[in-house]
A and B are shown apart, each in its own frame.
Chain A
Amino acid sequence: MTRNKLGKFILSFVLVVGAIVSTAVDWNTTHLFNPAWHPHARFHDALFLLFLDAMSLVVLWLLWRRSKEPEVAIVVATLFSASVWTPFLYIEALIPGTSLLAADNVPVLKVAGMSLAPNLIIAIVMLLLTIAAYWLARDTRSDA
């Protein structure tokens, strides 16, 4: 298997798992069917999930279709994945009143005085995998 193909497989894994995990953790009474949420907030959560799932499929198609410029698909897949997961790092700071946590009593990981929400940890892992996959996928010469 070439490094390029391994990188594309890892990018595909990040896309598929990102869509599945995001949908699975939100499609329940803590988020999408939470009666405490305003119906329009639930509408926006559903909009995000369905958009994410559909776009992930589109990017997967782009990544694996025959193309004279396969490197463009790799860049698009990398940027798409980064655009999904980087907002976890700054939304709380950018928009006052938002929270990474679904409830106040959610236990978080504390490292060196910093609180790391579980979804933040997942986002960091996904970003690391995306960067590594890009590094592998842009190499079209050597064997893995």
Chain B
Amino acid sequence: MILLLPAVAEAHPGGSDTGLMTGLMHPVFGPDHLLAMISVGVVSVQLGGHNIWRIPGAFVGAMVAGAVLGIQQVTLPYTELGIAASVLVLGMGIVFAHRRMSPWPITALIAAFGALHGYAHGVEIPRSVSPALYTLGFLISTSVLHIFGMLIGEVATMQNWLWKGLRFTGAAVTVSGVAFLLQSFSGTA
């Protein structure tokens, strides 16, 4: 289904809405973006308290800064490696995160990942679309994915076996992150 979504991104042909629809669908294209963004929501629930809005807020806020650099075509090296690493680290976050952890280093790290994801979206902006609407589109889409992650985290708190299952899912996300890293290494070699 994800592979078919690029066609949907071209849904409203012509006009300024093309940028919004393209931006809305962009984070859903890549499994690395998708996994990272859902994981951010899950980890924010696992850390609890104000982290539920602070961590996704940091990610989305940093995405804007990264997107500006990307749209300006500023060269940032190793972004694909960083994005792959974000999946690995966030997967580990799902496995190990708990409420007594200090949230600030995690928030800073997740903000850095957000900047990398934002840069990747910004640098891939199609020439024919409005940068503002395109950015608005992928910010909304990212926020929706964070919320889906939060809902997954919330449902997992209802039963102990679901919580354990979530930790195993985190391990699977970590393995995916390793695969993305290997793919990035082979791409840069």
- A residues apposed to B, CB below 8 Å: 1, 3, 6, 9-10, 13, 17, 20-21, 24-31, 101-103, 105-111, 116-119, 121-122, 125, 129, 132, 136, 143-144
Contact = CB atoms under 8 A, between A and B. Distances in A.
B143 interface: yes
B179 interface: no
B82 interface: no
Contacts of A24: 16-17, 20, 133, 136
B136 A6 contact: no
A36 B1 CA distance: 34
Interface string B130-144: 000100100010011
A103 B13 CA distance: 8
Contact of B49 (A1, A10, A20, A103): A1
B7 interface: yes
Contacts of B105: none
B1 A30 contact: no
B155 to A, nearest CB: 9
Given A1-B53, A17-B140, A125-B144, A30 B13 contact: yes
B60 to A, nearest CB: 11
Contact of B11 (A6, A31, A117): A117
Give the top 6 A-B pairs by smallest Cβ distance, nearest first.
A118-B11, A28-B15, A107-B7, A25-B17, A30-B15, A118-B8
B48 interface: yes
Contact of B1 (A20, A106, A109, A118): A109
Contacts of A102: 12-13
16 contacts: A1-B48, A1-B50, A10-B147, A13-B143, A25-B17, A30-B17, A102-B13, A103-B13, A106-B10, A106-B13, A109-B1, A109-B5, A116-B8, A118-B11, A118-B12, A136-B151
